């Protein structure tokens, strides 16, 4: 009897974990697609770091939390702030501010990757700053996140947990049917008397 009770608890735990994983992955994929590839949790955007320019603080393949900045907030940054900025139309960079220069109404930031030998060649116009790093990093999760954002990754992260749930459900149904068959084959005390 203890074996059956243990089996029921294990069943419930596995089912719960698989359901949570399935819904979490589905929610992340939907949020990712709805936000145009910029997942946001509690006001923080998650960015994937693809280079080692900020190591050792931010490792290659990490996911970092940044706070989006707009308007005049972009002009209020200072030395030591780690900012994410548009380097070109399709490339974001996260580097540390090492100098702030004012030129009329414009603010320019000199930036440098912590792991780089020299500052970046082009100053960053305040209008190109999109976010400020908040010090929260999850190492290596960026590799998974990058794959999940690809078309193949979206399919894989939805289909694999779905197949796991389906396979586990088939196993549970098969065990229940086998248990019913065994119960029918076993003679009861009422027919023996």
129 is written with which tokens?
A: 């700053």
Whole-number Å distance between alpha carbons of 153 and 159:
10
93 is written with which tokens?
A: 């960079």
Active-site residue, selected from the candidate residues 15, 16, 51, 53: 51
Q: Give yes or no: 103 in active site.
A: no
Report which DSSP code applies to 190: H
Name every residue whose Cβ is closer than 8 Å to that of residue 22 and which is 6 or more positions away in sequence. Answer: 161, 162, 164, 165
Whole-number Å distance between alpha carbons of 53 and 33:
28
Closest CA to 40 of 57, 63, 59: 63
Active-site positions? Answer: 51
């Amino acid at each position: 009897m203890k074996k059956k009770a243990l089996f029921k608890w294990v069943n419930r735990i596995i089912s719960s974990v698989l359901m949570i994983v399935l819904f979490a992955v589905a929610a992340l994929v939907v949020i990712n697609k709805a936000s145009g590839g910029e997942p946001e949790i509690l006001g923080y955007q998650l960015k994937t770091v693809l280079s080692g320019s900020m190591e050792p603080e931010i490792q290659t393949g990490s996911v970092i939390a940044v706070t989006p900045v707009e308007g005049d907030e972009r002009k209020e940054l200072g030395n030591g702030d780690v900012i994410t900025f548009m380097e070109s139309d399709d490339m974001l960079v996260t580097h540390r501010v090492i100098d702030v220069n004012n030129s009329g109404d414009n603010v320019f930031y000199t930036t440098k990757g912590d792991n780089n030998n020299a500052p970046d060649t082009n100053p960053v116009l305040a209008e190109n700053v999109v976010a400020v790093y908040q010090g929260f990093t999850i190492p290596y999760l960026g590799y998974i996140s990058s794959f999940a954002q690809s078309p193949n990754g979206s399919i894989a992260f939805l289909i694999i947990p779905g197949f796991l749930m389906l396979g586990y459900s088939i196993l549970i149904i098969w065990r229940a049917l086998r248990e019913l068959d065994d119960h029918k084959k076993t003679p009861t005390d009422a027919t023996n008397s």
